[in-house]
Amino acid sequence: MKISVTDDLAACHALRRQVFIDEQGVPEAEEIDDLDAGAIHLLAHDGTRAIGTARLLLHGTVGKIGRVCVSADCRGTGAGAALVRAAVAELRRVPGLRQVTLGSQVHAMGFYEKLGFRAVGQDYLDAGIVHRDMVLDL
C-alpha cells in the first residue's frame, strides 16, 4: 500500500461519499465542504485503486486530521492505522505544530488510542453521529 499527498479530490470525494454519505448517512452538504480547497489530502492506494483518504487542516500550532475513511473491503487490514500514521507524519513536517486533533466517532476511539491519541472533552453530535475530540501532542 502506498499513501501520499494528493491533488486528486475526485478520488478523495468518491471514497468519502462511499463511506460517510452512502454507508453512514451523512448529508452530502455536511460532508463536502469549502474546507477541502485549503486542506492537505492524503490518498492510500493498494496498487490498483484508491482505498482510503484523510484530510489535514492547519490552525496555528494545531493540525487537525479529519475525513479519515477506508473502503469497506479494506477495513481490518491495517490500512486505516497506516493512513493515520501517515497523516501524523505529514503534520510533523509542518514547522511550529505542537498538537494534532481529531473528532473520533465514539466507537472508533480505541483505534485512535492505540495510535497515541487521548480523548478530551465531552461527547457531541456531528452529522447525527456521536463523536469525541482526541489529541496527540507532538
CA 133, CA 116: separation in Å to the nearest integer? 13
Q: What is the pLDDT of residue 29?
A: 86
The CATH homologous superfamily to which domain 2-137 belongs is Gcn5-related N-acetyltransferase (GNAT) (3.40.630.30)
Q: What is the pLDDT of residue 58?
A: 97
- Span 82-87, mean pLDDT? 97
CA dihedral 107→36→40→17, nearest 10 degrees, is 50
Q: 10: exposed, middle or buried (C-beta count within 10 Å: 0-12, 13-18, 19+)?
A: exposed
Q: What is the pLDDT of residue 138?
A: 92
Q: Over 90: is that where the pLDDT of 30 sits?
A: no
> Which of the pair, 30 or 132, is modelled with greater confidence?
132
Q: Nearest 5°: phi and psi at 132? A: -145, 140
Q: Over 90: is that where the pLDDT of 71 sits?
A: yes
What are 61-70's pLDDT values in tens digits?
999 999 999 9
Q: Over 90: is that where the pLDDT of 116 sits?
A: yes
Q: How many CA atoms lie within 13 A of 68 on its CB side?
A: 26
Q: Over 90: is that where the pLDDT of 93 sits?
A: yes
Q: pTM of the predicted model, to two decimals?
A: 0.93
